[in-house]
Amino acid sequence: MIPLLISSQIREADAFTIEQEPVTSVDLMERASKAFVDIFIKEFPDQDKSIVVYCGTGNNGGDGLAIARLLKRAHYPKVSVKIARFSDKASPDFKANLEKLKHTRIKLLEINAGAPLQEESSDIIIDALLGTGLNKPLQGDYARLVDALNQLNSTIVAVDVPTGFFTDGAPPAGATVLKTGLVITFQQPKINFLLPESASCMDRFKVADIGLNKSFIESLDSPYQLISKKDIRQLLKPRKSFDHKGTYGHALIIAGQQLTMGAALLCSSACAHTGAGLTTACIPESGLTALNTTLAEVMAIVRDGKNQPEIKWEKFNVVAAGPGLGTDADSLALLEKAFKEFNKPMVVDADALNMLAQKPEVLKNIPKGSIITPHMKEFDRLFGEHQSWWQRLETMRQKANELGIYILLKNRYTITGTPSGKLYFNATGNPAMASGGMGDVLTGVIASLLAQKYTSGEACIIGAYLHGKTGDELAMPHLLNTVLAGQLAKHIPVTLAKLMS
Ligand SMILES: NC(=O)C1=CN([C@@H]2O[C@H](COP(=O)(O)OP(=O)(O)OC[C@H]3O[C@@H](n4cnc5c(N)ncnc54)[C@H](O)[C@@H]3O)[C@@H](O)[C@H]2O)[C@H](O)CC1
Ligand SMILES: [K+]
């Protein structure tokens, strides 16, 4: 896991590294700037482009000055610097780097407070105005400059964070932020990069390792964690020689209606392909032919409307409910029955969540350790409207704790909230997976992992990663625009095998 820090903790890690390593703060700035330049060179190899570095007078600006100097040394001759002198204060490391810059032949311009803005025609703008030191929304000169830069069509690359961007906490509504193409950020992604609001001011980010002290970062025990491939490889349990289907558990999938049987099939297929020993689908009679012809390995229990099916709950290691289930009274009665009679963790998704939104008191009966897998709209239907994603994170932590459940909120970076208050961010996955049925597949994957005796937390973390990784393996090599859910389900064993090799 990579612990994700809030800005005050980043400052602590910075100070600890300076004292402990030891390294002077100006040398750490040099290291950060070099790491930035290494990535910049790979991204923008054309040394003929004109580059201007806009610098503030704090440490982000200090980085900018060092970056200009290092770019010049790396044979980018058309690099120049503009310093925004909007404050009387300047950090010591900014001043030290300004001295060093004066020994180069780099063109240097100052923009004074209140002065009219100069025209800007450089091919690439490097933004080193403000970084993680931001403590209020941009106003006055900074806002004017950023507004003007936002009108240009240049490529903008931010140092650490786009100027005006709040790295954690709910961003103030309507705040001015520089719109950047690429952010080269230091040490680790900032938490708000992983939330959808960041899309309006950055297309993508790259992380430059600047060697902050890793054990100190670990010791901060951040609630925000980024899942890595290494974690998944450590969590996955290899199969053993004398294992049999009983070892890998029996999953029951309560899903599907006559017109939404696809959801039940996709969920059951994903469950079987992720390795559950046995999968049974509880479906309407109208879906039997489809199930028997497409998924011969999956067994059936028939739901026929009024009469509740006889389910021997104790036979199952996990019950997943929701995909294409509908929200009628029979479905609700069955969900309530499952909550009462199945006393192990369940997976609750889609229509099952919609029913809970309509009758919130039922949610209190959800078995402890269960996993709910809402997307943003389902989440808000359940827990109320939210003004920002940061607020949603807070609600997740609170509700997961209150109900003793795991909440997996689906998005570009899917987030799992645990009863103990941790939030795990998953980075695998891609836009080709934005198609119908993907959520049903994820539910099947997670149910399968629970059947195979992974804990609820492990099932969320592995499930989110595996689902996204499988989509990446299918889409990336051919730059596919679309990956279908059924195709993804069938490819899971290949991705799993690679992860376990
Ligand atoms: N550990 C690391 O990651 C390293 C980071 N480095 C760089 O340092 C900046 C953070 O620098 P800092 O001096 O703390 O802050 P800024 O340069 O972002 O801001 C300067 C200054 O500006 C004032 N300010 C804040 N908000 C506003 C505002 N809205 N309007 C006007 N002025 C504002 C405030 O006083 C700030 O202190 C980090 O991003 C990295 O780029 C190191 O170089 C290497 C180690
Ligand atoms: K910046």
**Ligand 1 pocket residue status of 418, Cβ below 6 Å:** no
Task: Name the residue at shortest CA distance from atom 27 of ligand 1.
Answer: 134
Judgement on whether residues 82 and 214 belong to the same structural domain of the protein: yes
For residues 365-393, give the mean pLDDT. 97
211 and 247 in a single domain? The answer is: no
Confidence check: pLDDT of 116 > 90: no
Mean pLDDT of 459-470: 98
**Domain total in the chain:** 2
CATH number, domain with residue 95: 3.40.50.10260
User: What's the burial of 448, exposed, middle or buried (CB within 10 Å: 0-12/13-18/19+)?
Assistant: buried
pLDDT value of residue 465: 98
CB-ligand 1 contact for 59 (6 Å cutoff)? yes
Q: Domain check: are 50 and 195 in the same one?
A: yes
Which of 178-182, 224-228, 288-292, 303-307 is the least confident region?
303-307
Q: Which residues are annotated as a binding site for (6S)-NADPHX?
A: 59-63, 131-137, 142, 160, 263, 324, 375, 440
| Cα 211 to averaged position of ligand 2 atoms, centre (Å) | 20
Ligand 1 atom having least distance to the Cα of 91: 13
Name the residue of 134, 188, 193 whose CB sits within 8 Å of the most ligand 1 atoms, as the mutation to test its pocket.
134
Per-residue pLDDT, 380 = 98
**Do 357 and 426 have their domain in common?**
yes
What is the structure's pLDDT at 246? 86
Contact status, residue 261 vs residue 293, Cβ threshold 8 Å: no
What is the model's pTM? 0.96
Q: Within 10 A of 145 (CB to CB), how many other CB atoms are there?
A: 22
Q: Looking at the structure, tell me whether residues 360 and 428 fall in a common domain.
A: yes
What are the tens digits of pLDDT across the range 283-342?
A: 999 999 999 999 999 999 999 877 789 999 999 999 999 999 999 999 999 999 999 999
Q: Is the CB of 130 under 6 A from ligand 1?
A: yes
326 Cβ below 6 A of ligand 1: no
Fill in the DSSP letter of residue 162. -
Q: Say yes or no to pLDDT of 244 above 90.
A: no
Q: Is 489 in contact with 467 (CB distance < 8 Å)? A: no
| pLDDT interval class at 117 (50, 70, 90) | confident
Cα of 269 from ligand 2 centre, angstroms: 47
Predicted local distance difference test score (pLDDT) of residue 447: 98
| 128 and 253 co-located in one domain | no
89, 132, 187: which to mutate for ligand 1, most atoms within 8 A of CB?
Answer: 132
Q: Indicate whether this complex's ipTM tops 0.85.
A: yes
CATH number at residue 251: 3.40.1190.20
- DSSP class of residue 492? H
Write the CA distances from 141 to 60, 86, 115, 130, 431, integer angstroms.
17, 7, 9, 13, 38
List pLDDT tens digits, range 398-440: 999 999 999 999 999 999 999 999 999 999 999 999 999 999 9
* Residues spanned by the domain of 367: 229-500
Give the mutation target among 53, 186, 217, 220 for probing the ligand 1 site: most ligand atoms within 8 A of CB.
186
Residue 73 is predicted with a pLDDT of: 97
State how far the alpha carbon of 170 is from the alpha carbons of 132, 197, 406, in Å: 15, 10, 23
Q: Is 397 in the same domain as 346?
A: yes
Residue closest by Cα to atom 30 of ligand 1: 138
Same domain, 161 and 259: no
192 lines ligand 1 (CB under 6 A): no
Report CA(129)–ligand 1 centroid distance (Å): 8
**Pair 239, 300 in one domain:** yes
Boundary residue ending a domain (222, 251, 268): 222
Q: Alpha helix locations (H) across 106-192?
A: 140-151
Mean pLDDT of the chain: 97
Q: Which of 292, 288, 304, 268 is nearest to 448 (CA)?
A: 268
Rg (CA), the chain: 26
The predicted model gives 243-258 an average pLDDT of 94
Most informative mutation of 6, 30, 34, 59 for ligand 1 (most atoms within 8 A of CB): 59
Query: In this model, does residue 258 exceed pLDDT 90?
Result: yes
Residue 306: what pLDDT? Answer: 74
Binding residues: 59-63, 127, 131-137, 142, 160, 163, 263, 324, 375, 410-414, 439-440
Structure tokens belonging to residue 385: 């409207």
Ligand index nearest the alpha carbon of residue 125:
2
Q: Do 88 and 205 have their domain in common?
A: yes
**218: CA distance to ligand 1 center in Å?**
23
Among 160-174, 235-249, 374-388, 475-489, the least confident range: 235-249
Centre of ligand 1 to C-alpha 160, Å, is: 10
75-91 pLDDT, tens digit each: 999 999 999 999 999 99
Nearest C-alpha to atom 11 of ligand 1 is from which residue? Answer: 59
pLDDT confidence of residue 118: 86
Nearest atom within ligand 1 for CA of residue 33: 43
In the predicted structure, residue 240 carries a pLDDT above the cut 80: yes
Of the bound ligands, which one is closest to the alpha carbon of residue 138?
Answer: 1
Query: Does residue 160 have its Cβ closer than 6 Å to ligand 1?
Result: yes
- Provide, rounded to the nearest whole percent, the portion of the chain with pLDDT above 90: 96
Residue 304: the pLDDT is 85
Cβ contact 408:371 at 8 Å = yes
Q: Please tell me whether residues 204 and 292 are part of one structural domain.
A: no
| Ligand nearest the Cα atom of residue 63 | 1
What ligand is nearest to the CA atom of residue 185?
A: 1
Mean pLDDT for 441-470 is 98
Atom of ligand 1 nearest to the CA of 13: 1
What distance in Å separates the CA atoms of residue 144 and residue 361, rounded to the nearest whole number? 51
Q: Is 32 in the pocket of ligand 1 (CB under 6 A)?
A: yes
Ligand 1 centre and the CA of 211: distance in Å?
19
Helix (H) or strand (E) holding 451: helix 438-451
Q: Which of 181, 198, 222 is the last residue of a domain?
A: 222
Q: Of 205, 222, 239, which marks where a domain is finished?
A: 222
pLDDT in tens, 51-83: 999 999 999 999 999 999 999 999 999 999 999
Task: Determine the residue of 60, 97, 161, 193 to mutate for testing ligand 1's pocket, defined as the one with the most ligand atoms within 8 A of the Cβ atom.
Answer: 60
For the chain, percent of residues with pLDDT exceeding 70: 100
Check pLDDT > 90 for residue 198: yes
Of the listed ligands, the closest to the CA of 132 is: 1
Q: What residue's CA is closest to ligand 1, atom 16?
A: 133
Q: What is the pLDDT of residue 329?
A: 94
Residues 115 and 190 in one domain: yes
